Amino acid sequence: MPRKVIVDLDPGIDDALALCMLLFDPDWDVVAVTAVGGNVPPHVATRNAQALIAYLDPPRIPRIGAATAPERGLPVDGRFANSVDDLRDASLTVAELRTPHPSEKLLTDEVRAAPHAVTVLALGPLTNIARAIQRDPEFPVLVHRLIIAGGAIQVPGNITPAAEFNIYCDPHAAKIVFASKAAKTLVPLDVTNRVNFSLSFLNELPPETNKIGALLRKILPAKFRAYRQHLGLETIHLHDSLTYLAACRPDLFRYEELAGDVETVGEITRGATIFDRRPVPAWQENRLEVAVGIDAAAIRLELLKRLNAAAQAAGNVESPP
């Protein structure tokens, strides 16, 4: 029987790839897609989530939650100064939601409707998850598990020297989530940085006649250009897609239970994830299952396998996206 999942995301090219696989994965029942500001501003995140679902037209249409800005605002508009992560190259059109529901309301409603049965895949900043916790104090014990893309343990950050992007965007929200009683899995840069995708990855995508293949062939080249122009790298990382795989194939990862917290006020350490490795950690509630190792070769094969299976289920395009 498929497992229920809510996808909380800030699409985003990598988020779009993960969503393509999830919506057509027979092992998962995507009950809601909740947008959050991060890679793109909140209103763009909501529009992109709508547009992706409308274009992909999965067998079951999930509920869509609308993003709103965190109380303190977003410190950045995207990973790079002129972000290409807004899916502009896809040229997707969509009618705006007439009566949008806030993302945090959908999170609490769906978890209340199926206690202990809903996994939340958090692929963006943790704004919505923290608000769900504040809205419904029982949310942490009713959700099955939070699987979070974010943080850095022993590697540099990817937005500042100390911080990973998702945590940096809303560190106050991340601090609330880390301290909650929810079962939590963290998939940090320490493992997602170990899987690199070169330009040859474009040749392994489904054909452009396929609905998913056509979409990815339009949007992925922009990610390669951004990594090359801004980071001087010839390969890209797919942090969100690997977090999806951590939910599907936890056996391909190695985990440790760690006590973690988030720096919220440091002048140069805002958003840093700190882990208490002492024999008796100071933080007792802040327990997370943290991915610390990965079978990179197997993960790459698994991603291609699931991507092609999703493409086959999605079918071909009637006209280009």
% of the chain residues with pLDDT over 90: 80
- Mean pLDDT, the chain, rounded, equals 92
Tell me, what CATH number does 118's domain have?
3.90.245.10
Asked, for residue 78, whether it belongs to a domain, the answer is yes
Q: Which of 86, 136, 144, 239 is catalytic?
A: 239
Asked, for residue 321, whether it belongs to a domain, the answer is no
Q: What is the model's pLDDT at position 82?
A: 42
Q: Which domain holds residue 11?
A: 3-314
Asked, for residue 22, whether it belongs to a domain, the answer is yes
Asked, for residue 55, whether it belongs to a domain, the answer is yes
Asked, for residue 245, whether it belongs to a domain, the answer is yes
Q: For 140-196, how does the pLDDT look when each residue is reduced to its tens digit (9 = 90+)?
A: 999 999 999 999 999 999 999 999 999 999 999 999 999 999 999 999 999 999 999
* Dist. CA 281–CA 317, nearest whole Å: 54
Asked, for residue 176, whether it belongs to a domain, the answer is yes
The answer, yes or no, to whether residue 83 has pLDDT greater than 60, is no
Q: Which of 10, 15, 170, 261 is catalytic?
A: 10
The answer, yes or no, to whether residue 103 has pLDDT greater than 80, is yes
Structural domain count of the chain: 1
Task: Answer yes or no: are the C-beta atoms of 70 and 172 closer than 8 Å.
Answer: yes
Asked, for residue 65, whether it belongs to a domain, the answer is yes
Q: For 118-156, how does the pLDDT look when each residue is reduced to its tens digit (9 = 90+)?
A: 999 999 999 999 999 999 999 999 999 999 999 999 999
The answer, yes or no, to whether residue 317 has pLDDT greater than 80, is yes
Residues 43-62 have a mean pLDDT of: 93
Q: What is the model's pLDDT at position 254?
A: 97
Decide if 239 is catalytic.
Answer: yes
Asked, for residue 107, whether it belongs to a domain, the answer is yes
